[in-house]
Chains A and B, each alone.
Chain A
């Protein structure tokens, strides 16, 4: 079946350092969504990318969708302690979302 993998599984950074998580799908996606889940919380929608090669920015967060629509990345510039949590990509399939394996980000003050 369709799989969406993320690397790394876990990243520990010092506050102020940059962070990137990568998302790879075994099949071409119609779109990619990104969610953030704080510890003890629930997934919260961040953004959706639809077009091949699309790049979107939200303040310190930059999201990219690959040209082949099979991969995506999330880059955070100058991490803050509020960025702590697990970041999931979710690939849009015909009738559902396929969640990636997630990257847990820890930020040390």
Chain B
């Protein structure tokens, strides 16, 4: 059972649409992450938030805009996406930021850009 909840589970959007992905965790974790995963590939880190502040942006295009309203919530705002942005978007959290902490993943949002 996952303790990281993502909504929606599936999303189809046009290239001119604006949409948001949402992620929530109630484990008291202080680090939250967005990953992008294409088929048959490993998760690719996009953003890291630590104590509600953006600490890592892995050179992600500005059409992806993260937001951390509080320690339990993480959003990913999407605007003017391209078909190649279609992927599984995974949210994760860990006790603290850093590779020594195990990550808990949400079930993901499967995004299709048409």
A binds B: yes
CA distance A48 to B104 in the complex (A): 13
If A43-B43, A104-B40 touch, whether A95 touches B102 (CB-CB below 8 Å) is: no
Size bin of chain A's contact surface:
20 to 34
CB distance from A6 to the nearest CB of B (A): 9
| Contact B99–A100 (Cβ < 8 Å) | no
| Contact A43–B90 (Cβ < 8 Å) | yes
| Contact A92–B98 (Cβ < 8 Å) | yes
Chain A residues, CB < 8 A from B102: 33, 45, 48
CA distance A77 to B40 in the complex (A): 24
Chain B residues, CB < 8 A from A97: 45, 99, 103
B105 contact from A29, A31, A44, A98, Cβ within 8 A: A44
CB distance from A96 to the nearest CB of B (A): 6
| Contact B42–A96 (Cβ < 8 Å) | no
| Contact B103–A42 (Cβ < 8 Å) | no
Residue A102 interfacial (CB < 8 Å): yes
Chain A residues, CB < 8 A from B48: 95-96
| Contact A42–B56 (Cβ < 8 Å) | no
Chain B residues, CB < 8 A from A88: 42-43
Residue A58 interfacial (CB < 8 Å): no
| Contact B99–A91 (Cβ < 8 Å) | yes
CA distance A35 to B48 in the complex (A): 19
Interface centre among B40, B56, B107, by most A CB within 10 Å? Answer: B40
Chain B residues, CB < 8 A from A104: 40
Spell out A's residues near B (CB within 8 Å). Answer: 29-31, 33, 35, 41-45, 48, 50, 88, 90-102, 104
| Other A-B pairs, 14, CB within 8 Å; known A31-B99, A95-B56, A100-B42 | A33-B103, A42-B2, A42-B90, A43-B105, A92-B99, A94-B98, A95-B98, A96-B45, A96-B56, A96-B97, A97-B99, A98-B99, A102-B42, A104-B40
